[in-house]
Amino acid sequence: MIEHTFDTTHSILYVRVKGALQLGDFAELAKTVDPYIEQTGDIAGIVIEAPAFPGWESLGAMVAHFRFVRDHHKHIRKIGVVTDSAMGKAAEHLASHFVSAEIKRFPASDLEAAKQWIMVRA
């Protein structure tokens, strides 16, 4: 389960992982960012706060996650992963092979640093 907010002023999607990822999570994310992407072309970035990776609630949720990434990664410039989990470091390196966004991990205490990093245009 995730919660999210979208800062349209800075073009940053904030995602907080609260439990196993659910099928509907990604439909909600798409409903939030798709209209903005249609109007502007891109979003500056996503900040993902995840104390640990909780996995997926179902196979359908995993497929929805991968589809969301496939359909959106070219419209996202940066992804900041805010976590102390060792999985965050692995995700940073693994995901960089599959998405066009620049990915960087930040300690769980550095949410503001992730936001500032995304706001700096590369």
For residues 105 and 89, is the Cβ–Cβ distance under 8 A? yes
Number of domains forming the structure of the chain: 1
Q: Coil, helix or strand for 49?
A: strand
CATH code of the domain containing 56: 3.30.750
β-bridge pairing 12-17 and 2-7: antiparallel
**pLDDT-above-90 percentage for the chain:** 63
Per the CB < 8 A criterion, the answer to whether 69 and 34 are in contact is no
- Could you identify the residue written with the tokens 């939030």? 32
Domain that holds residue 70: 2-119
How high is the pLDDT of residue 90? 61
Residue 94 has pLDDT above 80, yes or no: no
Q: What is the mean pLDDT of residues 62-69?
A: 90
More confident: 41 or 92: 41
Look at residue 89 in the predicted model and tell me its pLDDT. Answer: 60
The token pair that represents 61 in the structure block: 């949720």
From CA 102, how far away is CA 89, in angstroms rounded? 14
pLDDT at 92 over 80: no
3-state secondary structure string, 68-80? HHHHHHHHEEEEE
Mean pLDDT, the chain, whole residue set = 88
pLDDT digits (tens, 9 = 90+) for 74-88: 999 999 999 887 765
